[in-house]
Structure 1
Amino acid sequence: MIVIKRFIDIFFASITLIVFLIPIVLIGLAVLIFLGRPIFFIQERAGQFGKPFKIIKFRSMKNTKDRDGNLLPNELRQSSFGNFIRKYSLDELPQLINILKGDISIVGPRPLLLDYVPLYNQEQKKRLNAKPGLTGWAQINGRNAISWKEKFEYDVWYVENWSLLLDIKIIALTAYKVIKSEGVNTASNSMVTRFKGDEES
């Protein structure tokens, strides 16, 4: 079953890259025009079993800094263009490369920051048993509009109940919710708050 899942990942990621090649190029040019360089946001994340890898996304925030050269808070670096590509998950398209490399799957728990891993309790650590995904069970059940506790509960449920049919269901619902832009905190377009461990468990 895992081999089939990997084959599906490679097949659909390849097809999607070909179909969306022109939009991807246009989004990259738009990032360059509206936000400047670099075009991509690359960050180390925790993969399966906590193994680090570098996630690739289109940059969606300005690089505005204060007088001391430090980046300004997220809310001061947002832009209407960046909010738009995040709202419709267009900033996630470069992660198709991560799928082809085998860093992530199409479906799985979202890959989070490495420094969150030591904060997981024993139950939450189960989310690391699966390869992270471009979308997942938590994403179609609230995305940024639900708490960390709920996200991890959905992630663990996915890991414990995984099947190819479940993946197909998640992919179909993801497409629907992206089109409808549901499950995102669009009222303020705020960034996701950091996970702080047991106090949010």
Structure 2
Amino acid sequence: MKSLKRLFDITVATTALVVLSPVYAITAYKVKKNLGSPVLFKQTRPGLHGEPFEMIKFRTMLDAYDKDGNPLPNEQRHTRFGNLLRSTSLDELPELWNVIKGGMSLVGPRPLLMDYLPLYNEEQACRHNVRPGVTGWAQVNGRNAISWEEKFELDTWYVDNQSLLLDLKIIFMTLKKVVVKEGVNANDNVTMTRFTGSTE
């Protein structure tokens, strides 16, 4: 299963990079024009078994700081263009390179923050038994519109039930949800609130 999944990931990600290269070029140009440089956002995230890797995305926020040099809250740094990138998931396209390099899979639990690693309970930590994904079971079943507890339950369900057929189902469900822009925001918030630990 693991070798077949890896072959599938490399084949699809490489093909998508070639086919979508015009979209990459246009998006990169628009990001630089609307948000400035750098075009890519890079951040260390936990991968397989919690090992860190550098995830790349198109940036969606402005570099804006208060008088003391601290970044302004996310809500104040977002723009209409950045929200468009997020709602269409175009900001996620560079992650295909992470898939090719092996840090990510096409399908798996989304890579969250390194800060969250010590906050997981034993069951939640099982989400790191597989490579993180560009999309996942939680993303097609609520994304940011569900609670952290529900998200982690969906993640661990995927880990226990993963198969190539399930991956294909999730990919097709993802494409459908991107088109209708479903589950992008949690209520009126721009992004999901921070995870502060399990309540159980």
TM over 0.5: yes
Q: Deviations over 1:73-128 (max 9, x none)?
A: 11100100000000010000000110000000000000111110100001101111
User: What is the aligned partner in structure 1 of residue 44 from structure 2?
Assistant: 44
List aligned pairs for 1:34-183, cutoff 5 A: 34-183=34-183
Q: Considering only aligned residues, what root-mean-square deviation do their CA atoms show, in Å?
A: 1.1
Q: Given that residues 43 and 54 in structure 1 are in contact (C-alpha distance below 8 angstroms), is that contact kept between their aligned partners in structure 2?
A: yes
Partner amino acid for 2:167?
Answer: D
Letter in 1 for 2:178: V
Structure 1: which amino acid aligns with 2:43? Q
Given that residues 83 and 189 in structure 1 are in contact (C-alpha distance below 8 angstroms), is that contact kept between their aligned partners in structure 2? no
Q: C-alpha separation between the residues in 1 aligned to 2:127 and 2:92?
A: 21
Tell me the equivalent position of 2:32: 32
Partner of 1:5: 5
Segments of 4+ moved more than 4 angstroms: none
Indicate the SS of the match to 2:144.
helix
The one-letter code sitting in structure 2 at the alignment partner of 1:78 is H
Structure 1 length-normalised TM? 0.97
In structure 1, list runs of 5 or more residues that go unmatched: none
Structure 2 residue runs of 5 or longer lacking an equivalent are none
Q: CA deviation at 1:186?
A: 7.5
**Percent identity over the alignment?**
55
TM-score (norm 2): 0.97
